[in-house]
């Protein structure tokens, strides 16, 4: 470009020396105030000269060749700069303050304690916790019921409590406006649990009566519902129903704790139990295990489990009791000739629980459930087995056990492999009975 005004160009016939690169040649003097440290001049609003790149000096402005040197020392200029610095400082303080406020709120949202009530609760509200509910799901139910203020309040309190993860399914009576800590403590207190407990080995008749009592309905209501709505309760395909089976639902009211609150319909309570039983039996693979044990179907395996539950007294008894059942079912059994001879099956058909049966009463009865007179398994389960009995039914011992006697008449069961050993156990039982044991 042509040289600017006030700058000399090269002499005629001479060429300006070319720099070896972009940075070796002479560099123009830096005049920008950012680098020189000078105050930034503010051009006056003047008339633009059409023929020059300058403002009209009559307007007391400076041109692009340099500012008015007298103005650099002007006190007004310094005052203006001071005021500008003050404004910048105030703006910066405002920005810093705003950032701090936002940061504090962000910290509270991310890391601060969750919203929580401080009281122990008032009134009474029932909360139904379903099977398998997580802490967050329980917390959501509590928030919906007005028990706690936020899910986080309950979840954090549950984590802080060493037993917090032991809260089980069921119906809980709690208050509204409880702190998360108080809610967790209350739910861990058995007194707050409004649940129906089905014990291992309970017969269906006991379960029906317990449901009637819990719901406050007429005796026999749940039993009638079980009979009339059997097909809608969710039984698996392998469940059976024929004229010999006394209750097709026997064995499917799985032991455990159930949330059966006031106002629940009997069919809802029954469906809850059947669904849980079906899940448990599917996980245990009753279909495959029945085949391994040489049984006809999982229905028979469930029946074996119910016998083990009814006859066994302790956890250690169950596997031995299971072996006794399988050994007596064998075609090669010449000890009892495939007769199980279990008191529990006779008691089931009679709706009783006697331990000392007479030969006359058992030998004179030929009901399919009387295993003293009918070979093989009874037509169906005689109760609802718990998990230990079910596990024993699929994994019996293999020691050759064929007999057993509750020698103390109550809690102690002893086992034998031969008839001679069995007779000694019978004598021991009779001796204890004579002593009132």
Same domain, 417 and 336: yes
Query: Which of 283, 317, 350 is the last residue before a domain boundary?
Result: 283
Supply φ then ψ for residue 166, to 5 degrees: -100, 5
Euclidean distance between CA atoms 12 and 14, whole angstroms: 5
Q: Does 266 lie in the same domain as 151?
A: no
Task: List the chain pLDDT tens, one digit each, 437 residues.
Answer: 444 444 444 444 455 555 444 444 455 555 555 445 555 554 544 444 444 444 444 444 434 444 444 444 444 444 555 555 544 444 444 444 444 444 445 544 566 789 999 989 998 888 888 878 999 999 999 999 999 999 999 999 999 999 999 998 878 889 999 999 999 999 998 878 777 889 999 999 999 999 999 999 999 999 999 999 999 999 999 999 999 999 999 999 999 988 787 788 999 999 999 999 999 999 999 999 999 999 999 999 999 999 999 999 888 899 999 999 999 999 999 999 999 999 999 999 999 988 778 899 999 999 999 999 999 999 999 999 999 999 999 999 999 999 999 888 777 899 999 999 999 999 998 887 754 33
Residue 154 shares a structural domain with residue 260: no
178 with 137, same domain: the answer is: yes
Q: Do the beta carbons of residue 392 and residue 308 sit within 8 Å?
A: yes
Based on the fold, state whether residues 352 and 390 are members of the same structural domain. Answer: yes
187 shares its domain with 141: yes
Residue 251's closest CA among 295, 297, 300?
300
What value, to the nearest 5°, has the Cα angle with vertex 9 and ends 7 and 13?
170
Q: Which residue, of 170, 192, 214, is where some domain finishes? A: 192
Question: Cα(40)–Cα(32) distance, rounded to whole angstroms?
Answer: 8
Please give the pLDDT value at position 356: 79
Range of the domain at 229: 196-283
The tokens describing 113, both together, are 């304690």
The predicted pLDDT at position 36 comes to 54
Query: What is the SS3 assignment for 48?
Result: strand
Determine the pLDDT at residue 314: 85
In a domain, 133, yes or no: yes
- 314 part of a folded domain: yes
Whether 61 is in a domain gets the answer no
Question: What pLDDT score does 413 carry?
Answer: 92
User: 414 and 370 in one domain?
Assistant: yes
Tell me, what's the pLDDT at 10? Answer: 47
**What is the domain count for the chain?**
3
277 located within any domain = yes
Inside any domain, residue 175: yes
CATH of the domain at 188: 3.30.1490.480
Domain boundary among 141, 165, 192: 192
**184-233: per-residue pLDDT in tens?**
999 998 878 777 889 999 999 999 999 999 999 999 999 999 999 999 99
Shared domain check, 255 and 232:
yes
**Same-domain check for residues 168 and 205:** no
């Amino acid at each position: 470009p042509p040289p600017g005004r006030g700058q000399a160009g090269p002499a005629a016939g001479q060429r300006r020396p070319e720099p070896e690169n972009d940075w070796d040649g002479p560099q123009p003097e830096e005049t920008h105030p950012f680098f020189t440290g000078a105050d930034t001049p503010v051009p006056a609003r003047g008339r633009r000269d059409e023929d020059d790149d300058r403002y009209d000096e009559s307007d007391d402005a400076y041109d692009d060749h340099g500012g008015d040197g007298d103005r650099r020392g002007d006190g007004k200029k310094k005052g203006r700069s001071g005021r500008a610095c003050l404004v910048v400082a105030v703006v910066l303080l405002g920005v810093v303050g705003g950032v701090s406020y936002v940061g504090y709120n962000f910290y509270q949202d991310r890391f601060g304690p969750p919203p929580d009530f401080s009281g122990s609760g008032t009134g009474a509200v029932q909360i139904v916790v379903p099977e398998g509910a997580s802490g967050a799901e329980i917390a959501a139910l509590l928030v919906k019921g007005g028990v706690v203020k936020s899910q986080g309040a309950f979840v954090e309190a549950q984590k802080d409590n060493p037993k917090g993860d032991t809260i089980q399914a069921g119906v809980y009576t709690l208050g509204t406006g409880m702190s998360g800590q108080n809610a967790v403590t209350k739910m861990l207190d058995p007194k707050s649990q409004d649940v129906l407990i089905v014990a291992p080995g309970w017969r269906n008749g006991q379960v029906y009566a317990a449901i009637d009592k819990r719901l406050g309905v007429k005796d026999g209501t749940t039993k009638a519902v079980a009979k009339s709505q059997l097909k809608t309760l969710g039984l698996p395909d392998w469940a059976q129903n024929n004229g010999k089976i006394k209750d097709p639902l026997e064995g499917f009211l799985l032991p455990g704790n159930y949330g059966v609150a006031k106002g629940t319909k009997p069919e809802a309570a029954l469906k809850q139990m059947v669904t849980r039983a079906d899940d448990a039996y599917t996980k245990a693979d009753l279909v495959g295990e029945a085949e391994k044990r040489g049984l006809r179907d999982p229905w028979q395996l469930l029946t074996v489990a119910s016998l083990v539950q009814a006859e066994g007294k302790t956890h250690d008894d169950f596997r031995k009791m299971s072996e006794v059942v399988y050994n007596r079912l064998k075609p090669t059994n010449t000890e009892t000739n495939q007769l199980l001879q279990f008191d529990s099956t006779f008691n089931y058909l009679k709706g009783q629980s006697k331990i000392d049966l007479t030969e006359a009463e058992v030998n004179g009865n030929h009901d399919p459930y009387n295993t003293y007179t009918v070979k093989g398994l009874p037509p169906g389960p005689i109760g609802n087995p718990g998990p230990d009995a079910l596990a024993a039914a699929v994994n019996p011992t293999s020691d050759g056990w064929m007999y057993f006697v509750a020698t103390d008449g109550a809690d102690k069961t002893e086992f034998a492999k031969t008839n001679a050993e069995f007779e000694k156990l019978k004598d021991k039982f009779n001796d204890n009975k004579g002593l009132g044991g």
